[in-house]
C-alpha cells in the first residue's frame, strides 16, 4: 500500500510491505516538489522491486555484500588458496569503494575505481579482481538488489611489468644441476624441479611410494599445501596427475638422498627430520644463493619449470610430450606459454624445409 503526504514544502511517499519474516515495514522517501513526482518515484520502486525487500538490501555496502557472497558461495566450494584470492579482492575493494552502497554503484564509478586499481597492478591482476567482483554483482542483479549491471562493458587495463629473465640457458642449467648435492634437502628439491618441470607443491608432496627407481619414473598424484600447512591436497588439475620419466643420474641422486633421509610411506620425502616442509620463499632464497655462487642470472623456483620446458622444446621434443610432462590441462596452455619458443622453432623448421627441397631438386 502506498500513501502520500506533504511535509512542509515537499511531498513524501510511504510504501508499506512485509519483510521475509512476515513483519510489516515502511519505506519512505521525501523531497519531491510535486505530488506527481512522488507518485512516479514510488511506482518506479514498486516496478523494479516487486517484493520491496531488495530495496533495503541495496543499502548494504558493496564490500559487505561481497564478503557475504564469497562466504556463502565460495568458502566451501574452492581450495583455501583460491578462497584467499577472493579475500584479497575484498581487501582491495574496501580500499577502493569504502562504504559505497550497492544502490549507489554506477558504471562510471565502477570504471573509475577499476582504472585506479589498474594504475598500480598488472593487467592480469586487474582482470582477476574485475572477474570476481562482477560475479558477485551479477548475483545481486539476479536478486534484483540492483537494477542494472555496473560492470557491463568495463575496460580492463593494467601496468605493463618489465619482462624478467624466466629461464636459464642450457649451459647454465647444466652447471646448476651438476652443482647440486643429493645430501641436502633444499638442493634436491631444486634438482627434481630442474629435471622434471614439476610444480613446487608437487615436488614437496612426493612420498617414497611415488619414486619408482626400477622403472625410472616419478608418479605425481597429489601436492603438498606448503602455504596453509593443511597437508596433502589434490593436484592443480586432474591432468596434473601423471608419470614423469627420469634418467639414470636422477635415479642415482634419489637413491643417495633416500639413504641419507629414510622416508616413511605417508611422509613427504622432503620433510625435515623436525617435520618442517620448506615454503617456496625459503627455497627461492636457497636457489638465489646457489645461482649467485655459480654467477648464473637469477630466476625464481617456478623459472626452473619454464627452463625445463624450454630446453625440451629447443632439443626437439614435441609440444604434446612437453605438455603431458608438465601436466598442462591442454596443449593450448603449453603453446600459449611457450609461444615465443615455438615461433623460433617454426622459423628454423622453415629453413630446414627449404634446404630439403633444394637438395631434392638438384
The pLDDT profile of the chain, 362 residues, written as one tens digit per residue, is: 788 888 888 988 887 766 666 677 777 888 888 888 888 888 877 776 655 554 455 688 999 999 999 999 999 888 888 899 999 999 999 999 999 999 899 999 999 999 999 999 999 999 999 999 999 999 999 888 888 999 999 999 999 865 554 899 999 999 999 999 999 999 999 999 999 999 999 999 999 999 999 999 999 999 999 888 889 999 999 999 999 999 999 999 999 999 999 988 889 999 999 999 999 999 999 999 999 999 999 999 999 999 999 999 999 999 999 999 999 999 999 998 898 888 888 888 888 888 888 877 76
Angle at 128 between CA 63 and CA 240, to 5 degrees: 130
The count of structural domains within the chain is: 3
In a domain, 286, yes or no: yes
Contacts for 284 with CB less than 8 Å, ≥ 6 apart: 300, 301
pTM (2 d.p.): 0.63
231 and 311 within one domain: yes
Domain residue limits at 110: 62-142
Same domain, 283 and 212: yes
108 assigned to some structural domain = yes
Q: Sheet holding 217-220: strands in order across?
A: 211-212, 217-220, 242-245
Q: Could you please report the per-residue DSSP string of 199-265? A: -HHHHHT--GGGEETTTTEEEE--EEETTTT-EEE--SSGGG-EEEE--HHHHHHHHHHHHHS---T
With respect to residue 353, please indicate whether it lies within any of the assigned structural domains.
no
- Return the pLDDT at 134: 96
Cα–Cα–Cα angle for 240, 246, 250, rounded to 5 degrees: 125
Whole-number pLDDT of residue 21: 65
One domain for residues 33 and 108: no
Task: Mark whether 136 and 270 lie in a shared domain.
Answer: no
CATH code assigned at 308: 1.10.443.10
Q: With respect to residue 292, please indicate whether it lies within any of the assigned structural domains.
A: yes
Structural domain includes residue 324: yes
Amino acid at each position: 500500500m502506498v500513501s502520500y503526504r506533504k511535509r512542509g514544502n515537499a511531498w513524501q511517499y510511504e510504501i508499506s510491505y512485509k519483510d521475509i519474516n512476515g513483519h510489516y515495514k515502511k519505506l519512505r522517501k521525501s523531497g519531491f516538489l510535486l505530488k506527481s513526482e512522488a507518485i512516479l518515484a514510488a511506482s518506479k520502486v514498486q516496478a523494479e522491486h516487486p517484493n520491496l525487500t531488495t530495496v533495503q538490501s541495496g543499502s548494504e555496502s558493496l564490500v559487505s555484500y561481497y564478503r557475504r557472497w564469497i562466504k556463502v558461495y565460495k568458502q566451501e566450494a574452492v581450495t583455501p588458496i583460491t578462497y584467499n584470492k577472493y579475500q584479497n579482492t575484498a581487501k582491495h575493494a574496501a580500499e577502493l569503494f569504502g562504504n559505497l552502497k550497492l544502490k549507489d554503484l554506477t558504471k562510471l564509478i565502477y570504471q573509475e575505481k577499476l582504472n585506479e586499481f589498474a594504475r598500480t597492478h598488472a593487467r592480469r591482476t586487474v582482470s582477476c579482481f574485475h572477474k570476481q567482483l562482477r560475479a558477485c554483482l551479477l548475483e545481486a542483479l539476479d536478486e534484483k538488489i540492483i537494477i542494472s549491471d555496473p560492470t557491463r562493458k568495463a575496460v580492463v587495463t593494467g601496468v605493463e611489468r618489465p619482462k624478467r629473465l624466466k629461464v636459464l640457458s642450457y649451459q647454465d642449467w647444466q652447471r646448476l644441476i651438476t652443482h647440486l648435492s643429493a645430501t641436502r634437502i633444499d638442493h634436491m628439491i631444486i634438482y627434481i624441479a630442474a629435471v622434471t618441470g614439476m610444480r613446487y607443491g608437487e615436488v614437496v608432496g612426493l612420498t617414497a611410494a611415488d619414486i619408482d627407481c626400477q622403472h625410472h619414473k616419478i608418479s605425481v598424484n597429489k601436492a603438498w599445501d606448503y602455504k596453509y600447512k593443511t597437508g596433502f591436497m589434490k593436484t592443480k588439475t586432474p591432468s596434473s596427475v601423471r608419470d614423469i620419466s627420469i634418467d639414470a643420474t636422477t635415479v642415482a641422486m634419489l637413491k643417495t638422498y633416500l639413504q641419507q633421509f629414510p622416508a616413511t610411506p605417508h611422509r613427504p620425502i622432503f620433510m625435515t627430520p623436525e617435520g618442517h616442509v620448506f615454503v617456496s620463499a625459503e627455497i627461492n632464497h636457497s636457489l638465489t644463493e646457489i645461482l649467485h655462487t655459480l654467477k648464473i642470472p637469477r630466476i625464481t623456483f617456478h623459472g626452473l619449470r619454464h627452463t625445463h620446458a624450454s630446453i625440451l622444446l629447443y632439443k626437439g621434443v614435441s609440444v604434446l610430450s612437453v605438455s603431458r610432462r608438465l601436466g598442462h590441462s591442454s596443449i593450448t596452455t603449453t603453446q600459449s606459454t611457450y609461444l615465443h619458443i615455438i615461433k623460433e622453432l617454426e622459423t628454423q623448421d622453415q629453413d630446414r624445409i627449404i634446404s630439403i627441397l633444394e637438395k631434392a631438386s638438384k
